[in-house]
Structure 1
Amino acid sequence: MKEPGTGEGPATAAVLVIGDEILSGRTQDANTHYIARYLAEIGVDLREARVVPDEAEEIVVALNALRARYTYVFTTGGIGPTHDDITADAVAAAFGVGIGEDPRAIAMLRERFTEEELNPARRRMARIPDGAELVRNGASKAPGFWIGNVIVMAGVPTIMQSMMDTVGPQLRSGARVQVETVDAGSIPEGSYAMKLEEIARAHEGVSIGSYPHFSAAGIRNQIVLRSRDAARLAVAGQAVRALLAELSAQAS
């Protein structure tokens, strides 16, 4: 099992989105996009994202698979006050630990709610797996938690983002991936696909992809190069631009 802050090479991550509302299309998932951009800024590679329903068995299976594979797993959703908020229980089951009302979490909730307002439903948000550290959130006070290499956060974007700001400085960061985008214009992908593959193979440490962009002006293609090594990125970028220049000359 990979633990936070350990291991060699870039830290890796996965996002596990929990919620029937995402799968039904009722709610659009904005959290994965935010987490991906946040992690890219600090040099953590987001490698996988999954969406599972509010079913304990599904959550446990997915969580155990992801936490065995990546440095960090971020979950979003299912830690609110209603009966279908079962993420905390599922995480406890995945780790094989108990779960109960945490006095530290109750103290955080009291920063927002009076004793009268702190009813049984709201107290559900203070149920934390044994051994977990709390993740404070400045938006609503109800905490997330961090156990092993799993960071459990809310599904509401503003609250999740507050939690991400709390845990972000504690993550094992690395060199940021640098990105170069080369506009291929209206040159069809089929015209450069084979040569682009040759360039990709010849430049180790550089990821190269081609992405069509559809607009009112028609289809335009962009070639995106990514690398943690600025020198390698520059050389590969030159090769891509040379290829496109050659194709443009042939077409004119």
Structure 2
Amino acid sequence: MTSASPTAAVLLIGDEILSGRTKDKNLGFIADYMTALGIDLREARLVPDVEEEIVAALNALRHRYSYVFTTGGIGPTHDDITADAVARAFGVEIDHDPRAVEILLAYFKEMGREPNEARMRMARIPRGASLIDNPVSRAPGFQMGNVFVMAGVPKIMNAMMEDVAKRLTRGVPMQSRNVEFRGGEGDAAQPLGQIQRLYPSVVIGSYPFQAPDGFATNLVLRSRDAAALEEAYQAVCRMAQALTAEGKARGWA
């Protein structure tokens, strides 16, 4: 569907996700957040802790979409190389940022921790970047151009998004309607395709599930055009009613 709304991509970084050791929770959170802001999340990629691959993905995504959100790889260990990759992608220097140093030194003093070399790696920020507030563990994320670099730990990333959201241009949020059809996808496929062609501004998806009494399908309609959405919804309800043996289909907003 063609839309003038801002677009976004998510770049998940980390060998631990690819190995299955860590189960990602960040993509779903960001997707929900973008939907609420009226920003279309168009793509998600997962790359290992390899600088060349992070740089290549960043350069592809940041030129294609309004915003890119990265998660992971900004901690104190040797494999936390996201900040270096971002600096390389943008062609800028990276060093300990005085603002980040001040934040971390104050935090470590408060916590009674030694500000050793490993911990102070988290103060290394690409030149020209603005910091993203981290109210959980203080080590900041950062924004470089249209790229927002956040932690991989879900609790920290979620908190960082509060600061990031203030910087985003919002679009018109998608509205959605749902029809529960007591039949399989194959039963509804042809008439559903006809309805889709009549309402190109409405995105229609079908999602099968196993109901207690047999096969069933959730028919989900999404659009920024409220009038077209309502017309398409009524058409899908009529279709479901005509196809259901009992002559019934449940629909709700």
Match of 1:73 among 56, 68, 76: 68
Q: List per-residue Cα deviations over 1:67-103 (Å, max 9, x = no partner).
A: 0100000000000000000000001011111100000
Asked if residue 238 in structure 1 is aligned to residue 234 in structure 2, the reply is: yes
Given the two structures, how large is their TM-score scaled by the length of structure 2?
0.93
Asked if residue 226 in structure 1 is aligned to residue 246 in structure 2, the reply is: no
User: Share of identical aligned residues, percent?
Assistant: 57
| Misfit runs of 4+, over 6 Å | none
Shift of 1:111: 3.0
Counterpart CA distance in 1 for 2:62 and 2:125 is 18
Partner of 1:94: 89
Partner of 1:25: 20
Asked if residue 208 in structure 1 is aligned to residue 197 in structure 2, the reply is: no
Counterpart CA distance in 1 for 2:214 and 2:122 is 50
Partner of 1:125: 122
Match of 2:170 among 148, 170, 173: 173
SS in 2 for 1:113: helix
Contact 1:92 1:129 in 2 (8 A): yes
Shift of 1:249: 5.1
Q: List per-residue Cα deviations over 1:39-72 (Å, max 9, x = no partner).
A: 1111011111110000000101111111010000
SS in 2 for 1:110: helix
SS in 2 for 1:81: coil
Asked if residue 155 in structure 1 is aligned to residue 152 in structure 2, the reply is: yes
Asked if residue 51 in structure 1 is aligned to residue 33 in structure 2, the reply is: no
Contact 1:111 1:141 in 2 (8 A): no
Match of 1:144 among 117, 121, 141: 141
Shift of 1:188: 1.8
Counterpart CA distance in 2 for 1:223 and 1:216 is 18
Asked if residue 183 in structure 1 is aligned to residue 215 in structure 2, the reply is: no
Q: Relative to structure 1, is the Cα distance of residues 24 and 218 closer, same or farther in structure 2, using a 3 angstrom cutoff? A: farther
Shift of 1:116: 6.1
- Structure 2 portions without partners, runs of 5+: 249-253
Q: List per-residue Cα deviations over 1:3-30 (Å, max 9, x = no partner).
A: xxxxx92000000000000000000110
Given the two structures, how large is their TM-score scaled by the length of structure 1?
0.93
Q: List per-residue Cα deviations over 1:155-203 (Å, max 9, x = no partner).
A: 0001101110111122100111011111012x12112101111111110
Shift of 1:215: 5.2
Opposite residue 124 of structure 1, the aligned amino acid is R
Counterpart CA distance in 2 for 1:218 and 1:148 is 51
SS in 2 for 1:162: helix
SS in 1 for 2:21: coil
Partner of 1:248: 244
Q: Relative to structure 1, is the Cα distance of residues 214 and 250 closer, same or farther in structure 2, using a 3 angstrom cutoff? A: closer
Shift of 1:250: 8.6
Counterpart CA distance in 2 for 1:152 and 1:215 is 42
Opposite residue 52 of structure 1, the aligned amino acid is V
Q: Relative to structure 1, is the Cα distance of residues 217 and 80 closer, same or farther in structure 2, using a 3 angstrom cutoff? A: farther
Q: List per-residue Cα deviations over 1:228-251 (Å, max 9, x = no partner).
A: 111111000001011111112598
Which one is further off, 116-125 or 129-138?
116-125
Shift of 1:204: 2.1
Opposite residue 46 of structure 1, the aligned amino acid is L
Shift of 1:145: 0.3
RMSD: 1.7
